[in-house]
């Protein structure tokens, strides 16, 4: 594999994240809105989502102060954004894609305050769901082999620290493909070696693992992963049951994948000397968290990790009156470590109301009221196909943000007694600010 060097223009953090504060003399009177979204999977990246929400807001209130802090959850766009923020370089090379077909992917070497020996690998860029053709989505066979190839290339270049962005994956192989690319070998009960890049279903045959052939530099390298630490490997809340259907698994395949991951968990637990089946983060990105645990990686909650990498802190929530967040789908999984949930948690520490916009809203989305999201809305305007919604997502999101702001403006004419408002589940209304 030969990597092509792509220098990245340095962008200061405040160019990607608009953290400008209101002028002091207007701080008490000017309405300030903070926009902290995630991206919309297979549709809009985080930066575009933030821009759309800002446009919608300013259609209604052109002079309002909007501060944008788009949050990358370790998924699509993570490596590009972190490299751009630090003035690093991208490396492009051919690796194995999720359906075992070669593709051009990338990893980054970071600059700025990071050591030049820090590399970032974005799982979505090589094993992401968007890279799996919709008519071929089958997590029983998709592989993370290409992730390991990117890690190996970074190690060969001298990386001393690896940051792995886990998100938006299209795989369910427990990180076994990644480990194989780095030199690990897996065997069944008869001593037969598992073929490289076999996919998630093949984990059911795994009885032993040999790590003696791993890349020699892994012993000296610090590995950390930005992942959803709410995700576990096995059981009723295991990754196959929760995310398998989204990746194309049928109900029968979900059962097979869960059984395969249980077999794999037994092998890994024996190797590490502790039960990892329900370790926080072990199920992240189709079980990639478990594969990384075998390498001694530190699994970090992605909001905590990403805000550190991008230099974001809770000061963002100061001197603002209202917070917008967003993600592709808002449902009962959102409170389990998703970006909107983390944003709401921090906003509530500052007593701020939170509105969430989503591509789609699940029937069980009311669970989000309990975590600090005061109101939410889908951007969909009628019964349209997913393909049309994705193609028109920028307009739909901008229109939705505008619509929400127009509803909020009704607060100027509403006079709701506190005693009435307190009987609902929402926070006190924000109309006095408008």
Percent of the chain's residues with pLDDT above 90: 67
Kindly indicate the confidence band of residue 41, based on its pLDDT and cuts at 50, 70 and 90: confident
* Whole-prediction pTM: 0.78
pLDDT at 423 over 90: no
Highest mean pLDDT among 5-19, 40-54, 288-302, 399-413: 288-302
Query: What does the alpha-carbon distance between residue 128 and residue 111 come to, in Å, rounded to a whole number?
Result: 25
Kindly indicate the confidence band of residue 10, based on its pLDDT and cuts at 50, 70 and 90: very low
**pLDDT per position as a tens digit, 308-322:** 888 777 888 988 999
Q: Which residue's entry shows tokens 């690319």?
A: 181
Kindly indicate the confidence band of residue 415, based on its pLDDT and cuts at 50, 70 and 90: low
Domain 78-306: give its CATH code: 3.90.1510.10
Q: What is the pLDDT of residue 1?
A: 55
Angle 302-309/339-349 helices, nearest 10 degrees?
A: 80
- What average pLDDT does this structure show over 230-251? 94
Mean pLDDT of the chain: 88
Please give the angle made by the CA atoms of 350, 355 and 361, to the nearest 5 degrees. 140
Backbone angles phi, psi at 272, to 5 degrees: -90, -15
Query: What does the alpha-carbon distance between residue 174 and residue 144 come to, in Å, rounded to a whole number?
Result: 8
Which residues are CB-contacts of 377 (< 8 A; sequence separation ≥ 6)? 355, 356, 357, 358, 361, 400, 403, 404
Three-state SS for the chain is CCCEEEECCCCCHHHHCCCCCCCHHHCCCCCEEEECCCCECCCECHHHHHHHHHHHHHHHCCCCEEEECCCCCCCCCHHHHHHHHHCCEEEEEEEECCCCCEEEEEEEECCCCCCCCEEEEECHHHHEHHHCCHHHCCCCCCCCHHHHHHHHHHHHCCCCEEEEECCCECCCCCCHHHHHHCCCEEECCCCCECCCCCCCHHHHHCCEEECCCCCHHHHHCEEEEEECCCCECCCCCEHHHHHCHHHCCCHHHHHHHHHHHHHHHHHHHHHHCCCCCCCCCCCHHHHHHHHHHHCCCEEEEHHHHHHHHCCCCHHHHCCCCEEEEEEEEECCCCCCCCHHHHHHHHHHHCCCCEEEEEEEECCCHHHHHHHCCCEEEECCCCCCCHHHHHHCHHHHHHHHHHHHHHHHHHHHCCCCCHHHHCCCCCCCCCHHHC
Tell me the two tokens of residue 348.
């509530």
Query: What does the alpha-carbon distance between residue 248 and residue 229 come to, in Å, rounded to a whole number?
Result: 23
Q: What is the pLDDT of residue 430?
A: 42
Q: What is the pLDDT of residue 209?
A: 98
Query: What does the alpha-carbon distance between residue 368 and residue 375 come to, in Å, rounded to a whole number?
Result: 9
The length of the chain is 434
Region label for 188, one of left (φ > 0), alpha (ψ between -120 and 50) or beta (otherwise): beta
Q: What is the pLDDT of residue 21?
A: 47
- CB count, 10 Å around CB of 75? 27
Q: What is the pLDDT of residue 303?
A: 83
**pLDDT per position as a tens digit, 66-125:** 999 888 878 888 898 888 888 899 999 999 999 999 999 999 999 877 665 999 999 999
Q: Which residue's entry shows tokens 């992942």?
A: 227
Kindly indicate the confidence band of residue 431, based on its pLDDT and cuts at 50, 70 and 90: very low
Angle 78-86/302-309 helices, nearest 10 degrees?
A: 30
Query: What does the alpha-carbon distance between residue 116 and residue 418 come to, in Å, rounded to a whole number?
Result: 55
- Torsion on CA atoms 217, 202, 189, 175, rounded to nearest 10: 20
Query: What does the alpha-carbon distance between residue 123 and residue 29 come to, in Å, rounded to a whole number?
Result: 44
Query: What does the alpha-carbon distance between residue 13 and residue 84 come to, in Å, rounded to a whole number?
Result: 9
Q: What is the pLDDT of residue 391?
A: 87
| 31-71+320-433 CATH pick, 1.10.260.40, 3.40.50.2300, 3.40.50.10350, 2.70.50.60 | 3.40.50.10350
Q: What is the pLDDT of residue 416?
A: 58
Domain boundaries, the chain: 31-71+320-433, 78-306
Query: What does the alpha-carbon distance between residue 142 and residue 108 come to, in Å, rounded to a whole number?
Result: 24
Q: Which of 36-50, 131-145, 217-231, 258-272 has the lowest mean pLDDT?
A: 36-50
- CB count, 10 Å around CB of 116? 15
pLDDT at 410 over 90: no
**pLDDT per position as a tens digit, 128-139:** 999 999 888 999
Q: Which residue's entry shows tokens 């509105």?
A: 355
Contact 278, 51 (CB under 8 A): no
**pLDDT per position as a tens digit, 152-206:** 999 999 999 999 999 889 999 999 999 999 999 999 999 999 999 999 999 999 9
Selected residue with higher pLDDT from 433 and 291: 291
Contact 163, 127 (CB under 8 A): no
């Amino acid at each position: 594999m030969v990597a092509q060097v792509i220098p990245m223009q340095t962008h200061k953090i405040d160019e990607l994240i608009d953290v400008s504060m209101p002028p002091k003399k207007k701080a008490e009177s000017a309405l300030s809105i903070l926009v902290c979204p995630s991206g919309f999977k297979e549709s809009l990246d985080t930066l575009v989502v933030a821009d759309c929400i800002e446009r919608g807001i300013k259609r209604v209130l052109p002079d309002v102060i909007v501060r944008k802090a788009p949050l990358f959850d370790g998924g699509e766009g993570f490596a590009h954004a972190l490299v751009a923020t630090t003035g690093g370089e991208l490396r492009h090379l051919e690796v194995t894609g999720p359906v075992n077909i070669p593709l051009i992917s990338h990893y980054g070497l970071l600059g700025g305050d990071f050591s030049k020996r820090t590399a970032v690998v974005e799982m979505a860029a090589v094993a992401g769901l968007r890279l799996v053709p919709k008519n071929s989505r089958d997590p029983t066979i998709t592989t993370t082999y290409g992730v390991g190839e990117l890690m190996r290339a970074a190690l060969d270049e001298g990386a001393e620290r690896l940051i792995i962005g886990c998100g938006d994956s299209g795989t369910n192989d427990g990180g076994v493909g990644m480990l194989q690319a780095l030199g690990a070998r897996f065997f069944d009960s008869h001593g037969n070696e598992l073929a490289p890049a076999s996919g998630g279903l093949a984990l059911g045959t795994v009885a032993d693992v040999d790590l003696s052939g791993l890349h020699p530099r892994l012993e000296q390298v610090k590995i950390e992963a930005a992942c959803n630490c709410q995700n576990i490997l096995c059981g009723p809340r295991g990754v196959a049951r929760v995310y398998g259907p989204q990746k194309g698994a049928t109900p029968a395949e979900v059962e097979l994948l869960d059984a395969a991951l249980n077999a794999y968990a037994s092998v890994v637990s024996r190797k590490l000397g502790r039960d990892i089946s329900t370790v926080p983060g072990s199920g992240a990105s189709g079980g990639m968290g478990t594969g990384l645990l075998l390498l001694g990686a530190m699994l970090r909650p992605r909001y905590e990790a990403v805000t550190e990498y991008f230099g974001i802190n809770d000061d963002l929530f100061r001197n603002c009156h209202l917070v917008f967040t967003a993600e592709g789908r808002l449902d009962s999984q959102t409170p389990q470590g998703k970006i909107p949930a983390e944003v709401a948690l921090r906003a509530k520490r500052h007593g701020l109301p939170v509105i969430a916009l989503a591509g789609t809203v699940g029937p069980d989305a009311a669970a989000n009221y309990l975590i600090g999201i005061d109101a939410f809305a889908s951007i969909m305007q009628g019964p349209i196909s997913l393909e049309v919604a994705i193609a028109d997502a920028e307009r739909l999101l901008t229109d939705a943000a505008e619509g929400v702001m127009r509803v909020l403006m009704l607060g100027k004419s509403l006079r709701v007694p506190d005693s009435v408002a307190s009987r609902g589940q929402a926070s006190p209304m924000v109309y006095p600010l408008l």
